Amino acid sequence: MKYAPLLLLVTVAVLIALPWLVSGSMLNAAVQMLIAALFAMAFGLLCGQAGMLSFGHAAYFGVGAFAAVHAMNAFGGEGLLPTPLLPLVGGATGLVSGLLAGYFSTKRTGVYFAMITLALAELLHALAPHLKTVFG
């Protein structure tokens, strides 16, 4: 464990230098892998550490993605919102929707928690085709 700060520093340095080390398609693949790893870590934390099986954590990921896309296309697609702020918009929207759903779902444990999260995810999935103005 005495080399952990050095390993962290080397990892951050490699990630910062990655755009200059690989091609554009490889950089895109690396970003997709990091997003998938973050998504898997969230599930691992919720299920492994907290012991709560969630069927709906992907819904908040999707809500954040839709919010980022809508923020990117806001103001007639003129791009008035700086691009580096788009992940922050998506993350904040996912956080707010997760807090709202979490308020209801964390009141129960076990199978009831799993079914409530599944119901909330299916609710969003069922609403998407009916809200064409929001989801496109």
Measured distance CA(67)–CA(89) in Å, rounded: 7
> 10 pLDDT band (50/70/90 cuts)?
very high
Q: Mean of the pLDDT values across residues 91-102?
A: 89
Q: Is the pLDDT of residue 109 over 90?
A: no
Q: Which of 42, 44, 14 is nearest to 30 (CA)?
A: 14
Contact 124, 98 (CB under 8 A): no
Contact 46, 52 (CB under 8 A): yes
pLDDT digits 0-9 by tens, 62-90 = 888 888 888 887 766 666 677 778 888 88
pLDDT score of 102: 85
pLDDT score of 92: 92
pLDDT score of 79: 63
Q: Mean of the pLDDT values across residues 22-33?
A: 86
Write the CA distances from 53 to 74, 91, 98, 118, integer angstroms.
36, 22, 15, 10
For the chain, what are the domain ranges? 1-45, 52-136
pLDDT score of 128: 78
pLDDT score of 76: 63
Contact 68, 133 (CB under 8 A): no
